[in-house]
Each structure stands twice: as structure tokens, then as C-alpha cells.
Amino acid sequence: MKRRAVLVLSFAAALATVVAGPAAAAVLPPVTAQDNILGRVDAPVTVVEYASFTCPHCADFHTQVLPAFKAKYIDTGKVRLVYRNLPTSPANLAEAAAGVALCAAPGRFFDVAEAFMTHQATLSTTGTRPWFDAAVAASGKTRDQIGACLQAPATQATLQAQIDGAAAAEVEGTPTLFVNGRRLTDHSLEGLSDAVDPLLRRR
């Protein structure tokens, strides 16, 4: 079996051994230092996204909506985006991809996320190797460093905590977005703007 397949399967198996504790219903976990945040840490509006690197709708959001939203709100310091992993089918790929992103060098998580989302559509034609290669190249780490990190209990615990947090918030699909704690149903740029602008005007 190829080394990459071993890495993916072993990480998925290791994750499955982590025992999740009971979660309170309908509670969005607060943002902490362990979260991956894009934008100004103290931005007045917080968008929390639960997504999966193998989810086509998530890729659509990241490639078609996020660039304009980022330019308008995140780059201007008005909004911070918090990305949390909720792996979807195929679970072994999604979990391994989430692990690679979590193992990225400081400040490189969203570079890895962009690589996964941008190249997701090619998975069916090129296979998983180029997909993972692009992400590892964006991670700021070597392949060996990423491989070791994927096996670390801390990485598995971080991913499991995000999955448990999604359950606590009653997230059932991806992408799911919350704006200052309120679930958003319209994930278009217009829908996001309609949710964010009133919050900014109150300040």
C-alpha cells in the first residue's frame, strides 16, 4: 500500500479511537486560541464556518463567495472568519485533509484550506495524490513533519473537539455558517452582507 494511503487510513483509524464526551444541545462553542481565525482577532463581527474539504458546496463557498467577502469585510478588519472542521464523505479523505490543515505552520492554515478547496474538483480525475501534494506544499511544513503531526494525539483531539462542537451546535451539514452566534441560511455574498451590515451599523 502506498505511503499516502497508509497515512490517510492510519489517521482515520486513530481518530476513531478518540472517545467523545457528551455535548450540550444547540450551543455554539466560543472562539478560543485553538481556533483557526482569518482576519483581525478582535474584529467586531465573527463568522463561524463548519466545513469539510471534501464537501462540494464548501468548495463553492470558498472559491465563489469567500474572496469577495474577504475583500469587503475581513481584509478591512470588520469581520473575522473562524473555520472549524466537520469531515464529510469520504470520511478518510476528509479527516486526513483536516489533519493536514491543522498541522500547517503558524499562519498557514488558510493557505492549506485554499489549496484543498481550489483543487477539490480535480479529485475525480487526478486522484488524491496531487490534492494532498498541493496542500502540503502550502503548509509550510515538510511531508515528514506533516506525517508525524497527523499521528499526534493532540491533532486527533483537536479535530475531535471540532466535531463535538458541531454536534453541540446541532450542525448537520456543511457548510454551516453562524454570524455572531446566529445560524445563517443564505450563504451568498448578499446573504452574508445582510447579516453583517446591521451588526456593523450598531457599533
Confidence of residue 23 (pLDDT cuts 50, 70, 90): very low
pLDDT at 175 over 70: yes
**25 against 192, higher pLDDT:** 192
Quick one: pLDDT at residue 203?
A: 79
Evaluate whether residue 7 is within a structural domain: no
Question: Distance (Å, rounded) from C-alpha 40 to C-alpha 50?
Answer: 19
Q: What is the mean pLDDT of residues 59-86?
A: 99
Q: In this predicted structure, what is the pLDDT of residue 13?
A: 54
Q: Is the pLDDT of residue 15 over 80?
A: no
Which CATH number is 62's domain given? 3.40.30.10
The number of folded domains in the chain is: 1
Range of the domain at 45: 26-201
Looking at residue 79, its pLDDT comes to 99
Residues 153-182 have a mean pLDDT of 98
State residue 17's pLDDT score: 46
Give how far the C-alpha of residue 57 lies from the chain's centroid of Cα atoms, to the nearest Å: 13
Q: Does residue 17 sit within a domain? A: no
- Reported as a single tens digit per residue, the pLDDT across 76-86 is 999 999 999 99
Judge whether 20 lies within some domain. no
Quick check: is 9 in a domain?
no
Residue 96 belongs to some domain of the structure: yes
162 lies in some domain: yes
Residue 91 lies in a domain: yes
- Within-domain flag for 19: no
